[in-house]
Structure formats: structure tokens, C-alpha cells
Amino acid sequence: MSSAERKSSKVILWSTPRSLSTVLTKCLSFVLKSVIWFEPYNTYKWCKEQLEAEYRDKSVVFVQAKADALSTRYDAIPRGYKHSFLIRNPLKVLLSWRKAVYKIMKPDTALETFKLSTESQLPPGYFFKEMYDLYQYIKENYESNPIILDADDLLMNPGGVLKAYCNSMDIPYTDDLLHWDPSGDVIMTWKTRSILLKLQQLADFTFIDKAITSSEFLKPTKRPSREDLTEDDLQCIDFCMPYYEKMYEKRLIC
């Protein structure tokens, strides 16, 4: 088969919010002849049809999707994709989520009074159960060992982890992917569901503004101390931790 006839590598990255997924998506936007789908799940039938389409002139079709957006509609998982998961410690994910939602919903109140469990629009499984359940379903029905990346591993060793990930997913890798254009121009090429496209056109990126202007993988931030957290914070984090730890044990190690 000639290179011109070679089928696109089709890859899905499932994640929770606040886990570096947008930064990684921006990085991989600079793979030559790639097409990027950014959080496409809205109408499940439409999304499945779009993702299963052929992209004959593309080397890679990369989909970044939140596991909780799929919910339990596993019938909407597109055929022909290799699956991967991006995880991050719930201490970082949930506290970052709370802070981001707080800025939009109640910026005039004290952050410490903004309850993660009841005010921050978390799904029933606090993101992590939804992702773990999807991971189990993918293992049982699609591929026995889907690749798992830990966000802080990627930040600590971007060259090694990114290269290993790309090789595992049949994505062309070069060291040029470790640094990219800091402008947000490339996101205008992403395919997405209409509501997010409208947000892009309005340049309203409250949740992902830092990711959009990123240009490289930065060293991970220090993990928050449990002693500084409220009981409500700890309740949510401790609920999520077993799901995270089970997937962490299976992560890609370089």
C-alpha cells in the first residue's frame, strides 16, 4: 500500500476535565496532515457518524473527548479507533475544576465556601467513575490494554512519554512536537460540536485559556496538601481516588 493510500490513524483520548487534555490536543494539532476533533459529543448519532467518516488525505484523526460526556451511551463509541486515556490525580483535577467553575458562577463569594460536591456541577461519579467505567468497557469490548497516560508523567518527561504515546497510537512523532506556536490560531481548525464552535468564535475560553496559549509542557505544579482542604473537598477526592489508582497502576511508564 502506498503512502497516498494509507488509511488514517484514528485515535481517541478519553479524559476528565483539568487533566492537560487541551494542552496535549494543541500539541498534536501540529502533526502534519492531522484532523482534530475537540469534545465532539452532543448528538450521539451525529457524532458517531462524523467520527467514523473516512479522511483519506489525513495521516491522523485525533479525538479529544471527556468520558462523562459519553455517559453510558457506549453505543455511540465510533468504530475504527485506538483508545487511550489521560488521567491526573483527583487532588489536582477536582480543586482546579472547583476554582474554574467558581470564577464563573460565584466570583463575589469566598472560594472556601464554594462546595465541590453540590455547587460545582460535577457528574454523579465526579468524572473519575465515569472514566473508569468506560475504561472497563473498552477493555472488555474493544482492546484489552488501552494506553493510559498520567498527566504529571507527561509534564515530568514530555519527550519520553509523548514519543512512547505517539508510537503506541501510530501518530508520527518528531521532537518538534515538544514546542509549538503559543497563539490560539490552530484551535480554529479543530472540528467540534456547534456550541463549542460558537465559544471559539467569541474567543471565550474561561476554562482553557492557559491551555490555548500554551507552547510547551511545563513542569507539574506541587500537589495540594490534604491538610489545607475542607471536609467537602476530601469527601469528593476520596471518592475518586480508588478509580484513579486502579488506572494509574496500568499507566504507560517510560
Please say if the pLDDT value at position 187 is more than 90. no
Position 202 in a domain: yes
Position 36 in a domain: yes
Please say if the pLDDT value at position 203 is more than 90. no
| Domains identified in the chain, total number | 1
CATH number at residue 80: 3.40.50
Rounded alpha-carbon distances, angstroms, from residue 224 to 52, 213, 227, 229, 241: 41, 24, 9, 8, 14
Summarize pLDDT for 212-227 with one digit per residue, the tens. 899 999 998 888 888 8
Structural domain that includes position 78: 9-89+127-219+244-248
Q: Which residues contact 186 (CB under 8 A, 6 or more apart)?
A: 26, 29, 30, 180
Summarize pLDDT for 113-156 with one digit per residue, the tens. 888 888 888 999 999 999 999 999 999 999 999 999 999 999 99
Question: What pLDDT does residue 205 have?
Answer: 53
State the Cα–Cα distance between residues 152 and 25, nearest whole angstrom: 16
**Between 199 and 20, whose confidence is greater?**
20
**Between 245 and 39, whose confidence is greater?**
245
Please say if the pLDDT value at position 58 is more than 80. yes
* pLDDT band per the 50, 70, 90 thresholds, residue 206: low
**Between 128 and 104, whose confidence is greater?**
128
Position 226 in a domain: no
Position 118 in a domain: no
Percentage of the chain beyond pLDDT 90 is 68
Helix axes 231-248, 128-141, angle to 10 degrees: 20
Please say if the pLDDT value at position 200 is more than 60. no
Please say if the pLDDT value at position 15 is more than 90. yes
Mean pLDDT of the chain, nearest integer = 90
